[in-house]
Amino acid sequence: MPEDDMGGMKRDLTSSVAKDRIGEALLELSPDAIMVLDSNGKIVDCSEGALELFGYKSKGDLIGRDWFNLISDVCRGRAKMDFNMLQTRVLKNVKYKLVSRSRGEFDGLVSAKALSLPSGETIGFLAMIRPVTEGRVKGKPIFYEALKRFAEGLDDVVFLYDQKDGYLYVNRASVKITGYTPEEFYADRDLGFKMTHPDDLLMAKDHMANLIEGKRPSEFRLRILTKNGKVVWVEELLSPVLDDSGEVIAIFGIVKDITYQKRVEEELKTRSKELEDLVRERTEQLREAEHMAAIGRLAAMVGHDLRNPLQALLNEVYLIREKCRTVAQKIEDGDVKRSIDEYFNRINEQVRYMNKIISDLQDYTQPLKPDKVKTNLSHLIHSTLLTTNIPSTVSVVVNVPPDLYVDVDPLMMERVFVNLFLNAVQAMPNGGQLSISSSLEGDELLIKVSDTGIGIPKENMSEIFRPLFTTKSKGQGLGLPICRRIVEAHKGSISFESKVNEGTTFTIKLPHKPG
């Protein structure tokens, strides 16, 4: 390269024009906050770093403003004094409280120097401002910028909360999740707690206190109220930021919207609850089926083994009774006569009871096909009462219209009434009243069988229709299950109400067509 050119370049770079260019380039490139002030302290030009530091969007916003307006009231007087002395001395790293439009007050170190012409005339000042970083987040500028750039692309809220100054940074995702802008967070250091759901506030404060005390990260779920009042479930991951002496100076946090996740969890919970219920129901059905199978085997055996000898026994009893009657006629003693009759009655009763057991078992295990005929209900009830052994201590009241006809299988319905009447009588060992009544409700016929007996305790209420459930020493626990099967085979239902020591009412509902 020719000597001349080299020399020319050297000359150019140290020339005043070159210095102007260097100044311009510095203003344009420097990440630091640099400002050019006129002799009155008005801002004439500034670097990008200055815009950012003081929270302005464009140079147009800042240029023309008074430098002293960027300084907090508390040190404006001192700053003016310093400014007046700039003619004669350079200002180096003087600490002022400065004011940022977005972040409010902050501490800054200001260096400034007069710009003088060769003639010595001062045409303005150059000022460099650096935010004070000691005691705050270390290495802030580089780390902070990288973090911000990364965080802006995220869907989760990312924030940095300074213990002293409140929110230093909040990314834009805050708008999507909370409805509040980062600026609203910068302006209100308590916004985080203010938008916490009241029911979760104590818990959130506890977590925060533990985090600061324990200096360990913390993770928890809470509800927040968005700006327009919507409740949103979020998960907060908070991490303490420590200074060199190990003190918590800031909190770094990530807030995730987990409303959807929560909903899925809730749905899963209900689904698994439904599944549990289904399993329980099926297990119950299986148990019932096992019961049925056991009863079926028992019924077949009992039916086979007992039916024939029982029939034979009844025949023999009948024959002996007839024979005894002839003999008894010759007996003078009335007491002996009566007791022979009583013995036969008792034998008959016991045999009938054995017959009931076999009929019950067989009824319960055989498929039911009602053979429905038009039946007079009052007749059916009275004839059933006649064949039921009702002690004299129990009074019977029947309140059924004499002309009420129902479409039922009379033999099956008789079995239902026998079982209900017997249960009622057995519930009144010291006597009482058995009442039977009927009524019509829409297209349903209601038949009520009530007693004034011992009642059914609460814990047995869900059990009494279960096959083989009995509280009686001589009971089979088949009466009510049979009643239900028969009534349901008639497309009806059976229910009950009971009070201990007051009595019980069973209600049969049957479909009824008038006429």
Residue 134 structure tokens: 């000691």
Separation of first and last alpha carbons in the chain:
128
| 456 in contact with ligand ATP (CB under 6 A) | yes
Tell me how far apart the alpha carbons of residues 55 and 53 are, in angstroms, rounded to a whole number: 6
Tell me how far apart the alpha carbons of residues 108 and 99 are, in angstroms, rounded to a whole number: 9
**3 state SS for 35-92:** EEECCCCEEEEECHHHHHHHCCCCHHHHCCCEHHHHECHHHHHHHHHHHHHHHCCCEE
Task: Pick one of 216, 472, 491, 499: the residue that binds ligand ATP (CB under 6 A).
Answer: 472
- Give least dist CB 348 to ligand ATP, A: 18
| 419 in contact with ligand ATP (CB under 6 A) | yes
Q: Of 254 and 480, which has the nearer Cβ to ligand ATP?
A: 480
| Span from 161-169, 330-338, 402-410, 420-428 in contact with ligand ATP (CB under 6 A) | 420-428
| 423 in contact with ligand ATP (CB under 6 A) | yes
- Give least dist CB 487 to ligand ATP, A: 13
Tell me how far apart the alpha carbons of residues 320 and 330 are, in angstroms, rounded to a whole number: 16
| Span from 44-52, 102-110, 168-176, 422-430 in contact with ligand ATP (CB under 6 A) | 422-430
Which are the contacts of 218, defined by CB distance < 8 A and separation ≥ 6?
207, 208, 210, 211, 236, 237, 238
| 486 in contact with ligand ATP (CB under 6 A) | no
Q: Of 34 and 427, which has the nearer Cβ to ligand ATP?
A: 427
Q: Of 467 and 479, which has the nearer Cβ to Mg ion?
A: 479
| 447 in contact with ligand ATP (CB under 6 A) | no
- Give least dist CB 505 to ligand ATP, A: 9
- Give least dist CB 498 to ligand ATP, A: 7
The identity of residue 263, as a single letter, is R
Q: Of 137 and 416, which has the nearer Cβ to Mg ion?
A: 416
Residue 400: CA atoms inside 13 Å, Cβ hemisphere, count? 23
Tell me how far apart the alpha carbons of residues 88 and 91 are, in angstroms, rounded to a whole number: 10
Which residue of the chain is nearest ligand ATP when measured via CB?
479
- Give least dist CB 489 to ligand ATP, A: 17
469 binds, among ligand ATP, Mg ion, none (CB under 5 to 8 A by kind): ligand ATP
User: How many residues would you count in the chain?
Assistant: 515
Q: Of 49 and 479, which has the nearer Cβ to Mg ion?
A: 479
With CB under 6 A as the rule, give the number of residues binding ligand ATP. Answer: 23
**Strand spans (E) along 415-484:** 432-441, 444-451
Q: Of 90 and 500, which has the nearer Cβ to ligand ATP?
A: 500
Q: Of 185 and 417, which has the nearer Cβ to ligand ATP?
A: 417
Write out the binding residues for ligand ATP, residues 341-400 only, by CB under 6 A.
360
Phi first, then psi, for residue 124 (nearest 5°) are: 170, -165
Phi first, then psi, for residue 144 (nearest 5°) are: -60, -45
Name the residue among 475, 478, 381, 380 with its Cα closest to residue 427.
475
- Give least dist CB 445 to ligand ATP, A: 21
Residue whose token pair is 């059924």: 400
Which are the contacts of 191, defined by CB distance < 8 A and separation ≥ 6?
167, 180, 184, 185
Task: Pick one of 65, 469, 497, 509: the residue that binds ligand ATP (CB under 6 A).
Answer: 469
- Give least dist CB 376 to ligand ATP, A: 25
Residue 455 structure tokens: 């009642």
| Span from 102-110, 181-189, 321-329, 417-425 in contact with ligand ATP (CB under 6 A) | 417-425
Footprint of Mg ion (CB under 5 A): 423, 479
Using alpha carbons only, give the angle 330, 335, 339 rounded to the nearest 5 degrees: 90
Task: Pick one of 451, 452, 486, 510: the residue that binds ligand ATP (CB under 6 A).
Answer: 451
Residues that bind ligand ATP (CB under 6 A): 360, 419, 423-424, 427, 451, 453-456, 460, 464, 469-472, 475-480, 504
